[in-house]
Amino acid sequence: MKLAFSTLGVPGMPVPEVARLAAGSGYHGVELRAHPEEPVHPGIGADERARVVDGFRAADVEILTVAGYVRVAAAGPDEPVLTGLRELLALAHDLGAPYVRVFPGGGEQSAEEADATAARRLGAAAPYAAELGVRLLLETHDSHRTGADAARVLGPVGHGSVGAIWDVMHTWLGGEDPATSYAALAPQLGYVQVKDIASADDTTPLPLGEGVLPLTECVELLSREGWDGWLCWEYEKRWYPQARELPELLPAGREHLLRLLADAA
């Protein structure tokens, strides 16, 4: 498996520094948070996109994902959501990223209505994603935090350019065990987001291995099933300024994941 980390852990860090940090810490890739407060987002032009590509290429680090904030199950008209999806897909294509991350965001709608809305929009965007060679990945999050929730959307879409991100914290908070999550997501699984927290009541990010999330069980399961994708450490420093700085934790986090992988082999 390949290892990555999310720039959510280093908010606002310039792209060249992110690339150097990944390379120096032994990570293969980076999940780029695509928000206007970050250096990389759909509003940047062709020249800046080319510079981002050159910076990561020089560091021999892959851009794993453009992590967007489009909410595909949100109430309201489809066109603004579809426009947002097309913009994220174009950005990912220009950066050479294989994935775009999206959220459910079903809010207070019924599960049935949110599922149908998300499936309709993802299905409408799927041909464009396929044309660009990028996969749209629905993260287990908010209104659809379990694997079963995400599968209710992905099943009706039934397109190879639409899949899932397994966020191990959200499926755990949703009361779903790793085996159940994997079984639901495996047919469409893009990659896995790992993290650690103190408890269900305190989701402040912790160094990997210092919290309660079932990381060992997840890695053992993935290895046993022969899954050979990406593990991406999503350290939510942006939302928890009191948390320790991610750069100082990256080497130990990598070693922890490598130990889990070695023990599971």
With 90 as the cut, is the pLDDT of residue 250 above it?
A: yes
Task: In whole angstroms, give the CA distance from residue 204 to residue 238.
Answer: 11
With 90 as the cut, is the pLDDT of residue 200 above it?
A: yes
Q: Quick one: pLDDT at residue 48?
A: 97
**20-59 residue pLDDT tens:** 999 999 999 999 999 999 999 999 999 999 999 999 999 9
Superfamily of chain region 2-264: Divalent-metal-dependent TIM barrel enzymes (3.20.20.150)
Q: Quick one: pLDDT at residue 265?
A: 83
* Strand spans (E) along 168-212: 189-194, 197-199, 202-205
* Helix, coil or strand: residue 12: coil
Residue spans per domain, the chain: 2-264
Task: In whole angstroms, give the CA distance from residue 180 to residue 145.
Answer: 13
Q: Are 7 and 234 a contacting pair, CB within 8 Å?
A: no
Per the confidence metrics, is the pTM higher than 0.85? yes
Measured from the Cβ of residue 98, the count of other Cβ atoms closer than 10 Å reads 20
**86-131 residue pLDDT tens:** 999 999 999 999 999 999 999 999 999 999 999 999 999 999 999 9
Task: In whole angstroms, give the CA distance from residue 50 to residue 238.
Answer: 26
Closest CA to 62 of 38, 30, 14, 26: 30
Closest CA to 186 of 226, 157, 216: 226
